[in-house]
Structure 1
Amino acid sequence: DETFPEDEGAAAPSVSGVYFICPLTGAVVRKDKKEKHLREAVQAYFSVDPVAASIMEIHTFNKDREKVRAGVETMAKYLDNIYLHPEEEKYRKIKLQNKVFQERINCLEGIHRFFQAIGFETQTLPVPGQGKKIQTGSTEEYYVLREDMLTRLEDLKGYKEQLLNSEPLRAQLDRQLCVFKPSPEAARFELPNDFYNLTAEEIKREQRLRTEAVEKASMLRTKAMREKEEQREMRKYNYTLLRVRFPDGYILQGTFYARESLSALYSFVREALRDDWLPFELLGPGGLKLTDENLAFNECGLVPSALLTLAWDTAVMADIQASREEQPASALKPELLSRAQTLS
């Protein structure tokens, strides 16, 4: 077996990385492969629905939202003109060298595939005579709507609505739900680099600075200075690995965005319960009650990892015990318990 030198951080990571679920294929892919996989999935979707695929491309891979909005609105006007004035040939031809087309539409990835998918073809046409400025015989490139599309004006209107109302494709963060058996190692986290909003070099530097920060912390600083520094620290993280310890010692683990709200964690825990109606509250490190579900994890200091404690509503639990019905050994769903791992 391959062996590694013993040093800090040589322990196996608590999770192997940050993963996402592709909304098109359902595949689970690692963070650094997400963009490539999305592109391949959209590309494959062209064989299923080229209009929808080109719209996905426009909204997902053009990162400047303002440019997308301007381009999409201009495109909608072109289609509106055709729909409202189908007898007007001029609206069915779009000059590619037109200033508005160049500035607002030509710059968008996926837009040319959209034109083709909805029935436009590129044609080289003679430039209409405009005095002596235009050379005789000069031509220009146009997008021209195919004749058969005039019998499908409602389809064109539908494509316009689809283009206007679409959103970028977003891969869903995979929670990587894990259940662990009771362990004294519950508060020990080894995080892979994916969890940090930093490059590998910055992380090494960060670890060095952290040791220096211990000395710095002993210096007298105002509360405001400390809070400002803590907030700056929190912004370094994109993700957080959270563990919730149940009264019986079992631990539920999941991956979250650092800026997600506590309500996401409450929902995550509720979905893992055998009886999801049971009222509970979560306590942060130090026993602090986390009752405001609108607060983000980074606002509560629960990044890049934290161990929380679940506490049942005492009155409800007393009623359940008084009913003398036999209670299950654990509050977690049996299918989760059957996959419980040992924390190493």
Structure 2
Amino acid sequence: MADKIKSFFQKKKTNAKFMKAGKGYKLTESTSTIYSSTEPKEPMRRAEPTEEAKIAGQAALARLEAKKNDKPRFNTSYAAIQARVKRELELERKAAQQNLQQTEDITLKEKKIVDPSIFAVTDVFFRCPYLSDEILSRDEWKKKIREFLYEQLMGEEAGLTACLIIQSCNFGKEKIESCVETLGKYLDNIINNPNVEKYWKIRMCNKIFQEKVLPIEGALDFLKAAGFEQQKLLHNENEEDFLVWSPDNCNIENLTMLNEALRSAEPIPIELDRNLQVLMPSQARVRNELPPSFFTISKEEIKKEQQLRTEAVERNQMLRTKAMREKDEQRVLRRYKFAVLRIKFPDGIILQGTFSVHEKFQNVIEFVAENLVDDKVPFLLITPDGIKLIEECHGKTLLELRLIPTAIVEFSWNVTEKESMPKRYLKEDVLSYIQTV
């Protein structure tokens, strides 16, 4: 994310603060017992001061000396004000960072002791039809997929398996794409020039290989399946490690097939599980929190959040356009990855499901329909504000409809004749999901 400009200060507010400071006062002005008079008085002989008077006089002199040593008034030049405000903002930023770290530490502790019964969901779960019908967390599926692929790597389709490892076991889309492009060029050179032996060798100390291929899990396995073997060869009179291709290990036809597989491979997909729940009203009132694991925030994202808060303070000091406000709102909304939606039926029962914020509202309609006693009767979902989410809304995402991170919508049959309305709403097997209150 590009760095933000932090050049707006609380100029008007700060200037107003110092303008109200007043004109100051003279050190000689005092409420002490020393008075001056314009009336001429005859000189009079003063008696020797008593010891008490001497002590009082010394105290008065000490007070005057202290006032003389006071710091001068603050420099009210604009540059001085800017410097002062900058220092204050920096102190506020550091204090806010400390508070954020303390909050983070407290949150980590609360994760261990919080009562899970207050959560609307305990976690975000997924399915992987490619492997099994199990319902697991994302991390559990990543681990299971990795184990599965490495088991398959020992089989006959090692090259195809390596393609899936590259796509499924690494992080960073750009890094993966860069690796695939580099591996593809290695193979293209051999396929297009099968008799040119210089294309048969890959120097492992090469910068491109070191940066784009070696760090990617599965890349070396792919090259091995494509017919490359590691060997020591002379390079500039020094012995170095090379990967050397041999047509005896993989012919051009198989190399072409692997090249196509490499470029068309995709990660093994996992699907978001709806985590269907049916709640009584009393349960819904209690279970209204989302667990910390529902929103995954990395250290980098925490720092970014703090930066955004600091910038927000500065932006509030200037006039901002509608477009600027909408942009900031969109940035806040994009922090959410998932949403928990509750559909409240007229009988008080609540159907709950988990969705991606980027899913279309049509998916919510389908989720509700497949759990109804009669999915042929048209129905409407209505927001608490009375807004009917009509067909035009079905093509919009939950993010666009602001139904995140949690939302409640009310169910209503969309028919004119009451006689045609089903008397019940949810299927019997769905109602069996209601948990003991």
TM-score of Structure 1 vs Structure 2, range by shorter chain = 0.7 to 0.9
**Matching of residue 237 in structure 1 with residue 369 in structure 2:** no
The 5 Å alignment of 1:19-58 reads: 19-22=125-128, 24-26=130-132, 27-48=134-155, 49-58=157-166
Distance 1:46 1:270, change over 3 A: farther
1:318 Cα deviation after fit: 5.5
Relative to structure 1, is the Cα distance of residues 139 and 32 closer, same or farther in structure 2, using a 3 angstrom cutoff? closer
* Residue identity in the other structure for 1:336: V
Report the counterpart of residue 313 of structure 1 in structure 2. Answer: 414
- Given that 2:381 and 2:410 are in contact with CA atoms closer than 8 Å, whether structure 1 keeps it comes out as yes
Match of 2:261 among 119, 140, 162: 162
Unpaired stretches in structure 1, ≥5 consecutive residues: 1-6, 128-133, 207-221, 322-326
Residues 1-31 of structure 1: per-residue CA shift (max 9 Å, x gap): xxxxxx9977532222222224553332234
What count of residue pairs does the alignment treat as equivalent? 303
Displacement, 1:176?
Answer: 0.7
Aligned equivalents of 1:197 and 1:125: distance in 2? 47
C-alpha contact 2:398 2:404 (8 A) present in aligned 1: yes
Sort the Cα spacing of 1:13 and 1:104 in 2 relative to 1 into closer, same or farther, 3 A. closer
Q: Is the 8 A contact 1:285 1:306 kept in 2?
A: no
Q: Does 1:87 align with 2:87?
A: no
Counterpart of 1:289? Answer: 388
Letter in 1 for 2:135: V
The CA deviation at 1:286 is 2.1
Q: Distance in 2 between matches of 1:55 and 1:94?
A: 19
Q: Paired residue for 2:118, among 12, 17, 21?
A: 12
Out of 47, 59, 75, the residue aligned to residue 183 of structure 2 is 75
**Alpha-carbon deviations, 1:164-221, whole Å to 9, x = none?**
11223343222111233x5355455132222234479x99xx9xxxxxxxxxxxxxxx
Instruction: Tell whether the 8 Å contact from 2:162 to 2:218 is kept in structure 1 after alignment.
Output: yes
Quickly say closer, same or farther: Cα 1:103–1:330, change in 2 above 3 A.
same
Question: Is the 8 Å Cα contact of residues 187 and 306 (structure 1) preserved in structure 2?
Answer: no
Which of 352, 359, 380 aligns to 1:253? It is: 352
The alignment-based identity, stated in percent, is: 36
Relative to 1, partners in 2 of residues 1:68 and 1:31: Cα closer, same or farther, differing over 3 Å?
closer
Counterparts of 1:286 and 1:24, CA distance in 2:
42
Give the structure-2-normalised TM-score.
0.59
- The letter of the residue matching 2:292 is N
How has the CA–CA distance of structure 1 residues 338 and 142 changed in structure 2, closer, same or farther, with 3 Å as cutoff? same
Tell me which moved more, 280-289 or 98-107. 98-107
Structure 1 counterpart SS, 2:179? helix
Q: Which amino acid aligns with 1:45?
A: Q
- The alignment partner of 1:122 has SS state of strand
Aligned position for 1:183: 281
Residue 300 in structure 1 maps to residue 406 in structure 2: no
Amino acid at match of 2:198: K
Change (3 A) 1:9 1:279: same
1:227 Cα deviation (Å)? 6.8
Bigger CA drift: 301-310 or 332-341?
332-341
1:3 maps to none
Alpha carbons of structure 1 residues 12 and 199: separation in structure 2 relative to 1, 3 Å: farther
Which residue matches 1:214?
none
Instruction: For 2:163 and 2:269, locate their aligned partners in 1 and report how far apart those are by CA, in whole Å.
Output: 14
Question: 2:210 aligns to what?
Answer: 102
**Residue identity opposite 1:52 in structure 2:** L
What RMSD over aligned residues (CA atoms) do the two structures have, in Å?
3.6
Task: List aligned pairs for 1:110-259, cutoff 5 A.
Answer: 110-127=218-235, 134-135=236-237, 138-150=238-250, 152-180=251-279, 182-186=280-284, 189-198=288-297, 234-259=333-358
- CA 1:250 to 1:286, structure 2 compared with 1: closer, same or farther past 3 Å? same
Kept after mapping to 2: 8 A contact 1:195/1:237: no
Q: What one-letter code is carried by the residue in structure 1 that aligns with 2:397?
A: A
CA–CA distance in 2 between the matches of 1:289 and 1:124? Answer: 71
How many Å separate the matches in 2 of 1:274 and 1:51?
49
Q: State which drifts further: 171-180 or 10-19.
A: 10-19
Q: Matched residues in 1 for 2:137 and 2:289: separation?
A: 18
Cα distance between partner residues in 2 of 1:142 and 1:108: 18
SS of residue paired to 1:144:
strand
- Whether the 8 Å CA contact 1:197–1:236 is kept in 2: the answer is no
Larger radius of gyration: 2
The DSSP-based 3-state class of the residue aligned with 2:385 is: helix
TM-score (norm 1): 0.73
Partners of 1:86 and 1:318 in 2: CA distance: 77
The residue aligned with 2:31 is: none
Is the aligned partner of 1:341 residue 2:401?
no
What SS is found at the alignment partner of 1:306?
Answer: strand
* Secondary structure in 2 matching 1:301: coil
Q: Does the CA-based 8 Å contact 1:20-1:29 persist in structure 2?
A: yes
